[in-house]
């Protein structure tokens, strides 16, 4: 008996390591240390000690982990593996920047039924693209071949991100007060939450992933729209925060993931205020209405499951709201002035 005969091909795993070497190198700066294929990645907090001391007097490391849920099943069904890694990076780094942190490095985990070197390299290539968009280094990962756990063709992906923030600049929700303005940044689509419901709607209603539907108001197929990668907000937010080194004009932030606005914006609020949001301030993309109609999903359930077109929120001092919105728009974001902070009990309310 052999390991390969039992379902695990060590040679295929070694081939993947060789294939992805230039991919990882693209994401590396001068702070990445160590050899490709080492047992662990190494990252200097700064390659220039005097520069680091100037940038960070009291650095705090920030870390998070996340995956992309059953969106991977849609990618498998469509045989499109070139974007799912971007989703994985996005779900992590978008969480990280909520704390005011700058992403430093990323690691990925792939669990597979079988290591196909070309397909596995495609997935990792998309992870690297997500890291490039985020400005962080991909310094390692793991590909685990487990045919006894995953069905043929199946895989799962998760990631781990580490960043740094100056303690005095870290997000502090206790600073939020009545009168602050809520700004929203447009999402690129469904992002990476709610896909168990999305897939159920597609299956139950016999929708064609390869079809172009007129009520989607797009020339792209339904499958392409559903696989659109999660928007990465890192460069816009990090650039914005660097522009306010003295004044603390951003009082809170939230990444809008599973739970929608009601279940995520509330996580940024102290217990004595509410976020009063005006639905008329942004247009919900047609894809959400399409899913709601075909799935006969109640409006409050849509709000609870999906981002509904808003992927990230900032809470800003009122006198700086317009200036912050302009800076974000110059960074390429679509910005909505969604509402304001009022006295309350830590909830999100619509008007």
Q: What is the pLDDT of residues 218-248, one digit of tens each?
A: 999 999 999 999 999 999 999 999 999 888 9
- Sign of the CA dihedral 235, 240, 243, 244? negative
Burial class of residue 173 (count of CB atoms within 10 Å of its CB; 0-12, 13-18, 19+): middle
Region of 7 on the Ramachandran plot (φ > 0 left; ψ -120 to 50 alpha; else beta)? left
Instruction: Kindly compute the dihedral angle of the four CA atoms of residues 134, 135, 139, 144, in this order, to the nearest 10 degrees.
Output: 20
Query: Which fold, 173-350?
Result: Phosphoribosyl-aminoimidazole Synthetase; Chain A, domain 2 (3.90.650)
pTM equals 0.92
pLDDT on residue 2 = 65
What would the two tokens of residue 57 be?
């007097």
pLDDT on residue 346 = 95
pLDDT, tens digit (0-9, with 9 covering 90-100), for 302-343? 999 999 999 999 999 999 999 999 999 999 999 999 999 999
pLDDT, tens digit (0-9, with 9 covering 90-100), for 120-150? 999 999 999 999 999 999 999 999 999 999 9
Q: Is the pLDDT of residue 3 over 70?
A: no
User: How high is the mean pLDDT of the chain?
Assistant: 92
pLDDT, tens digit (0-9, with 9 covering 90-100), for 263-313? 999 999 999 999 999 999 999 999 999 999 999 999 999 999 999 999 999
pLDDT, tens digit (0-9, with 9 covering 90-100), for 157-171? 999 999 999 988 899
Architecture of domain 3-168: 2-Layer Sandwich (3.30)
The DSSP-derived string for 36-62 is TT-SS-EE-S-SSHHHHHHH-SSEEEE
* Domain residue spans of the chain: 3-168, 173-350
Contact 192, 87 (CB under 8 A): yes
Q: Is the pLDDT of residue 54 over 70?
A: no
- Lowest mean pLDDT of 53-67, 76-90, 178-192, name the range: 53-67
Question: Which residues are registered as beta bridge partners of 156?
Answer: 111
Name residues whose C-beta falls within 8 Å of residue 153's C-beta, 6 or more positions apart in sequence.
Answer: 76, 113
pLDDT on residue 108 = 96
Contact 334, 256 (CB under 8 A): no
pLDDT on residue 21 = 80
pLDDT on residue 50 = 64
């Amino acid at each position: 008996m052999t390991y390969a005969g039992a379902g695990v091909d060590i040679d295929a795993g070694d081939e993947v390591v060789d294939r992805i070497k230039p991919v990882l190198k693209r994401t590396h700066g001068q702070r990445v240390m160590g050899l490709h294929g080492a047992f662990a990645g190494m990252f200097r907090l700064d390659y220039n000690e005097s520069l680091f001391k100037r940038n960070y007097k009291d650095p705090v490391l920030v870390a998070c982990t996340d995956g992309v849920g059953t969106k991977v099943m849609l990618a498998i069904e469509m045989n499109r593996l070139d974007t799912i890694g971007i989703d994985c990076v996005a779900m992590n780094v978008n969480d990280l920047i909520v704390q005011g942190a700058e992403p430093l490095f990323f690691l990925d985990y792939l669990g597979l039924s079988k290591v196909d070197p070309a397909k596995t390299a495609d997935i990792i290539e998309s992870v690297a693209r997500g890291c490039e968009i985020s400005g962080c280094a991909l310094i390692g990962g793991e590909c685990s071949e487990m045919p006894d756990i995953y069905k043929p063709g199946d895989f799962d992906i998760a990631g781990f991100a580490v960043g740094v923030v100056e303690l005095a600049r870290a997000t502090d929700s206790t600073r939020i007060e009545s009168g602050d303005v809520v700004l929203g940044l447009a999402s690129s689509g469904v992002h990476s939450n709610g896909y168990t419901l999305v897939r159920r709607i597609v299956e139950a209603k016999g929708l064609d992933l390869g079809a172009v539907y007129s009520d989607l108001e797009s020339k792209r197929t339904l499958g392409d729209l559903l696989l659109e990668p999660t928007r990465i907000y890192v460069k816009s937010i990090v650039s914005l925060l660097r522009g306010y080194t003295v004044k603390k004009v951003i009082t809170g932030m939230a990444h809008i993931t599973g739970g929608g606005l009601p279940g995520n914006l509330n996580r940024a609020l102290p217990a004595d205020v509410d976020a009063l949001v005006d639905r008329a301030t942004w247009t919900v993309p047609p894809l959400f209405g399409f899913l709601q109609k075909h799935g006969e999903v109640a409006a409050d359930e849509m709000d609870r499951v999906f981002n509904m077109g808003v992927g990230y929120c900032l809470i800003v001092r009122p006198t700086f709201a317009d200036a912050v919105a302009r800076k974000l728009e110059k960074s390429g974001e679509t910005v909505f002035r969604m509402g304001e902070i009022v006295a309350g009990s830590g909830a999100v309310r619509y008007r």
